[in-house]
């Protein structure tokens, strides 16, 4: 079994290695579609999405698709987030995962960003024309994962990414892949590896890139000229994570979590987190993520690295495995007043 695990992990790393030029801060800002790095789900956001080894269910479609089958039977998740409170940016997400009879699972997730209404301005009317516009950022993901002997799970996910204004749009496709390995007498040790956002270049097209200009020979009439937009790559990344559960008697559990993130277009990151659970019905969690090589706070991303959150799971009836859960998370930021996530989960 261990040989199979290492073979799968090594194969995935070798397969996607050409796409990953990790830990290069000189390439910061060269990628696009950075909404793929934002996490709308509250449970994993409370751990700053470093739970590569232990994530499960719907949230695995953002962190590590291999965790998709680790549910009872069916999970539905509705989530909303105020990104950088005060900017008016909202994230909304819906996800559903279904466990199949053969140890596999299918999942579907929809995520969108709402930027609110913005003024349309021109060179002649810099204060606004009176019209408004709203960018539309949307992605849809379909994932599949399979569990071998309840120890090793592997998964793959296809994601469609759409970014558009009224007259300009871009579309791309990305693939995620992952592995999770669980061992121990009570499955207390977990290991995970995931590759995310490996896909096609995106480029904007549309009438918004056209303009009216005079002919080169000044013949007295105008022509429509098309501008070519530069393409951009997706922010690919590799995550390697560990998790260990300390079981303190029947009702108590403490999980220690560690993670390493290798980014294609920014600095590498390491993270550590902890989660306390009481009967797996009440949970508190917190984490810290650090950018390697960042000597000053200004060199770091907008997040300070701190996150915290909690969950409450209510059984639908006494002794039932069917539950409804409420999750909350907060991520501290250098500007504005942080990011708040709230999720409502249904487990059947």
Report for 11-15, 121-125, 149-153, 211-215: range of highest mean pLDDT? 149-153
* Residue 219 is assigned to a structural domain of this protein: no
What single DSSP character describes residue 195? E
Domain span at residue 318 reads 2-122+132-206+231-347
160-210 confidence digits (pLDDT tens): 999 998 889 999 999 999 999 999 988 899 999 999 999 989 999 988 888
Q: Supply the pLDDT for residue 15.
A: 52
SS (H, E, C) 16-39: HHHHCCCCCHHHCCCECCHHHHCC
* Residue 161 is assigned to a structural domain of this protein: yes
Q: Supply the pLDDT for residue 19.
A: 45
Which has the higher per-residue pLDDT, 111 or 295? 111
Compute how many other C-beta atoms are within 10 angstroms of the C-beta atom of residue 319.
5
Which residue do the tokens 């969690």 mark?
A: 285
Q: Supply the pLDDT for residue 318.
A: 80
Q: Supply the pLDDT for residue 133.
A: 84
Q: Give phi and psi for 32, each to the nearest 5.
A: -125, -170
60-74 confidence digits (pLDDT tens): 999 999 999 999 999
* Residue 221 is assigned to a structural domain of this protein: no
Average pLDDT over residues 212-225: 71
For residue 292, how far is the Cα from the chain centroid? Answer: 20
* Residue 303 is assigned to a structural domain of this protein: yes
Question: Which region among 27-31, 92-96, 149-153, 205-209 has the lowest average model confidence (pLDDT)?
Answer: 27-31
Instruction: Kindly tell me if the per-residue pLDDT of 37 is higher than 80.
Output: yes
Count of structural domains within the chain: 1
* Residue 220 is assigned to a structural domain of this protein: no
* Residue 313 is assigned to a structural domain of this protein: yes
Instruction: Kindly tell me if the per-residue pLDDT of 6 is higher than 70.
Output: no
CATH number at residue 312: 2.40.160.40
* Residue 127 is assigned to a structural domain of this protein: no
* Residue 216 is assigned to a structural domain of this protein: no
Q: What angle do CA 267, 55, 113 make, to 5 degrees?
A: 65
86-114 confidence digits (pLDDT tens): 888 999 999 999 999 888 999 999 999 99
């Amino acid at each position: 079994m261990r040989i199979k695990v290492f073979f799968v992990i090594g194969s995935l790393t070798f397969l996607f290695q050409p796409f990953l030029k990790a830990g290069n801060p000189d390439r910061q800002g060269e990628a696009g579609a950075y909404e793929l790095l934002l996490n709308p789900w509250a449970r994993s956001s409370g751990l700053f999405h470093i739970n590569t080894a232990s994530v499960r269910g719907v949230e695995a479609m953002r962190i590590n698709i291999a965790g998709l089958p680790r549910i009872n039977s069916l999970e539905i998740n509705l989530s909303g987030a105020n990104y950088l409170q005060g900017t008016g940016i909202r994230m909304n997400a819906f996800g559903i995962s279904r466990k199949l009879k053969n140890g596999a699972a299918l999942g579907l997730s929809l995520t969108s960003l709402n930027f609110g209404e913005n003024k349309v301005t021109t060179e002649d009317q810099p204060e606004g024309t009176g019209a408004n516009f709203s960018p539309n950022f949307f992605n849809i993901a379909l994932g599949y994962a399979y569990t071998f002997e309840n120890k090793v799970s592997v998964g793959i996910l296809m994601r469609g990414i759409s970014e558009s204004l009224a007259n300009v749009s871009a579309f791309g496709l990305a693939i995620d892949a992952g592995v999770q390995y669980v061992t121990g007498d009570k499955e207390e040790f977990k290991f995970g590896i995931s590759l995310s956002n490996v896909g096609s270049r995106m480029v904007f097209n549309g009438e918004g890139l056209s303009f009216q200009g005079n002919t080169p020979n000044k013949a007295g009439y105008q022509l429509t000229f098309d501008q070519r937009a530069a393409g951009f790559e997706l922010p690919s990344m590799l995550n390697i994570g560990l998790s260990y559960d300390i079981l303190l008697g029947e009702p108590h559990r403490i999980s220690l979590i560690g993670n390493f993130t290798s980014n294609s277009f920014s600095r590498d990151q390491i993270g550590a987190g902890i989660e306390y659970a009481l009967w797996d019905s009440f949970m508190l969690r917190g984490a810290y993520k650090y950018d390697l090589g960042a000597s000053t706070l200004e060199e770091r991303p907008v997040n300070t690295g701190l996150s915290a959150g909690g969950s409450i799971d209510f059984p639908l009836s006494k002794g039932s495995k069917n539950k409804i859960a409420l999750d909350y998370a907060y991520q501290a930021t250098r500007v504005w007043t942080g990011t708040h996530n709230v999720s409502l989960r249904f487990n059947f």
